[in-house]
Amino acid sequence: MRGGGTFLAAPALAAPPTDGILGPGYTIPDSEGNADASHIGAYGPPGPAVHGDIETYCADPERRGPADAGGYSAPQPLTSWTSSVTGKAVPKESVSRAAYVIGKYGQTRDNAQAAAVDAVVYEYLAGGTYALDGARGKQRLAYPVVSPTARTLAQQYVDEAERLAGPYTLTLTPSVKTTTAGTTVTVTVAVATSAGKPVPKVTVDLAETGSGTTTGKVTTDEAGHATWSFTAKTPGTADIAAKAGGLPATDLAVLTPKNTAAQRMLLAGGTTSVQDSAAVTVDEATGGVTIRKKDPEGTRLAGAAFQLLDKDGKKAAEGNTDEQGVLVFDQLKAGTYRLRETSSGSPLHALVSDQTITITAGHTAQANPLDIVDPFKKATLTVKKTDKNTGETLAGAAIAIRADETDKTGKHIPGKTLTTLTTGTNGTAQMDLDITLKAGTRYWAAETQAPDGYQLDTTPVTFTAHPAEDVTVTLTDQRTPTPPPSPTAPPTTPPARPSTPPSGSLAHTGADTTPWLIAGATGLLAAGGGLYYLTRRRRAESTTS
């Protein structure tokens, strides 16, 4: 075919040459040895025209030449052929290969090339003795007038036709079936023979319509492939069309002589084309988010699991952070979502609360990073108050829990009071502590109120709490000492009664002693008065002196 399956109409002439030149090629003896009686090469300019300016090739070597045809019909495509030499049907593959060589290399003014094409036509369509390795086939290329290049080219054309002769296929494969507005779609173009062999150096024209208007041109590589990209601009359907024209013909273009005794002639330069189409659905523009997971120390966290829930609570996406702590959610419809962490991926880290994120159309995940910090799991602190001597647990002790800080010298000292715990009936109190370091966070504990009956000990005690671990701090107190008892006055001993020797008198009633007692008392009073008088007199004398 020429011009993508059409033939150019031209008068089919066969006037005898006036100067002996029949066309590009060589004048050689015929099979009977008659000098200058045959021709190997093309029939046409610069010799007599058979079909305008197009070169033609003989398909029936044992019939009369174009000068005896009486004229030719318009070219007709044929996909089958019967050899006029062997009388056998030519295999379809051979017809395609002959069409390939005539179509690609036949339109030439080069003598050696034209002779090579003629020899290949006989190889595929005549066969028998006219094949390249047949007796007459070898003889035609061996004449001294024929350039050795002709046989070399003929063999190259045969090898090439076996690999690259049609029919052909063109296949378009978009990188996606569905995409979103604003994204780039890559289309893979593949040109191959019907046997699946790649065809290189084929120019393919492409166009996209529906989601925009884009055109382009690519050339296949040695693997028969090429790629082309376009941007899906608007929602809808992106229709992709491709056409590869100028491929060597796959059918024979035959000129039939009016005189059946004359040769059928084959038209050179025929081409064919293949095409394909594809469609991509284009949705509204999307956006994305890149989650970057860290802990309080800035370490990236791998294996953290997240879900992205839409406004109806349905799962829109899910995944786990990679080794770099990164998780990408892309190609999401614009809108508001809830980001939920379902696993921190670590026994030391706690989950973060759900958070609302907004996906904006046209903002890819790369352009929308989100840093999420998983805190360390809290430590559980148990403070315990005991008797220093007995180990008995003590209720009612108030213990301040303080942060750690350093002074100007770098020494650790108690800092801000975070809370105060009071031990219960079991002598303990508990609380959760925030942890900011994987290696643990330092705290202080100090008593601010002792239990009843115990001495207050305000000495601070430092301890380190680790993520997701229990820590126990024990503080001891001594009992308050018991004061010694106050001294008491000794009892008064009454004077002893004088004893009366027993006698035979009547029972003693005590009446006979009364006078004696009165007399003794009077004497004592008198003695005391005298003593008082003497004392006063001495003081008076001393004052006068």
Q: What is the pLDDT of residues 94-114, one digit of tens each?
A: 999 999 999 999 999 999 999
Kindly tell me if the per-residue pLDDT of 363 is higher than 90.
Answer: no
C-alpha to C-alpha distance for 398 and 525, rounded to whole angstroms: 70
Encode pLDDT of 387-445 as tens digits: 999 999 999 999 999 999 999 999 999 999 999 999 999 999 999 999 999 999 999 99
pLDDT of residue 213: 87
Q: Name the residue among 285, 279, 280 with its Cα closest to residue 331.
A: 285
Kindly tell me if the per-residue pLDDT of 508 is higher than 50.
Answer: no
**Mean pLDDT computed over 130-144:** 97
pLDDT of residue 366: 87
Give the single-character DSSP code of 67.
G
Kindly tell me if the per-residue pLDDT of 7 is higher than 50.
Answer: no
Encode pLDDT of 176-204 as tens digits: 999 888 889 999 999 999 999 999 999 99
Which residues, including other chains, have CB under 8 Å from residue 191's CB and lie 6 or more apart? 168, 169, 170, 171, 198, 199, 202, 204, 220, 224, 244, 274
3-state secondary structure of 241: strand
pLDDT of residue 333: 87
Least confident segment among 113-117, 477-481, 525-529: 525-529
Distance of CA 335 to the CA centre of its chain: 22
For 370, the token pair is 């989100």
Q: Name the residue among 71, 64, 70 with its Cα closest to residue 10.
A: 71
Q: Name the residue among 115, 105, 121, 123 with its Cα closest to residue 248.
A: 105
For 456, the token pair is 């207050």
pLDDT of residue 211: 81
**Mean pLDDT computed over 367-380:** 94
CATH 3.40.50.740 is held by the domain 379-477? no
Kindly tell me if the per-residue pLDDT of 467 is higher than 70.
Answer: yes
Is there a shared CATH topology between the 168-248+270-283 domain and the 379-477 domain? yes
Q: Name the residue among 261, 471, 295 with its Cα closest to residue 383.
A: 471
C-alpha to C-alpha distance for 339 and 357, rounded to whole angstroms: 7
Contact 182, 285 (CB under 8 A): yes
**Dihedral, 496, 502, 504, 507 alpha carbons, nearest 10:** 30
For 427, the token pair is 């002598």
Reduced DSSP (H G I as helix, E B as strand, rest coil) percent helix, strand, coil of the chain, to 5: 20, 40, 45
- Return the CATH architecture of domain 286-373: Sandwich (2.60)
pLDDT of residue 351: 94
Least confident segment among 39-53, 69-83, 458-472, 498-512: 498-512
**Mean pLDDT computed over 56-84:** 94
Exposed, middle or buried: residue 432 (CB in 10 Å: 0-12, 13-18, 19+)? exposed
Encode pLDDT of 524-535 as tens digits: 555 555 554 544
Amino acid present at 34: N
Percent of the chain with pLDDT over 90: 79
CATH homologous superfamily for 168-248+270-283?
Answer: Immunoglobulins (2.60.40.10)
Distance of CA 427 to the CA centre of its chain: 55
**Mean pLDDT computed over 362-372:** 89
Say whether the peptide bond before residue 46 is cis (omega within 30 degrees of 0): yes
Exposed, middle or buried: residue 347 (CB in 10 Å: 0-12, 13-18, 19+)? exposed
Kindly tell me if the per-residue pLDDT of 14 is higher than 60.
Answer: no
Least confident segment among 27-41, 44-58, 157-171, 497-511: 497-511
pLDDT of residue 525: 53
Domain parsing of the chain, residue ranges: 25-164, 168-248+270-283, 286-373, 379-477
Kindly tell me if the per-residue pLDDT of 475 is higher than 70.
Answer: yes
Name the more confident of 501 and 161. 161
Contact 113, 268 (CB under 8 A): no
For 291, 304, 340, 368, the CA distances from 351, given in Å and listed in that order, are 14, 9, 9, 22
Distance of CA 48 to the CA centre of its chain: 69
Backbone φ, ψ for residue 356 (5° rounding): -90, 130
Average pLDDT value for the chain: 88
Kindly tell me if the per-residue pLDDT of 495 is higher than 80.
Answer: no
Encode pLDDT of 234-265 as tens digits: 999 999 999 999 999 999 999 999 999 999 99
* pLDDT band at residue 212 using 50, 70 and 90 as cut-offs: confident
C-alpha to C-alpha distance for 217 and 113, rounded to whole angstroms: 31
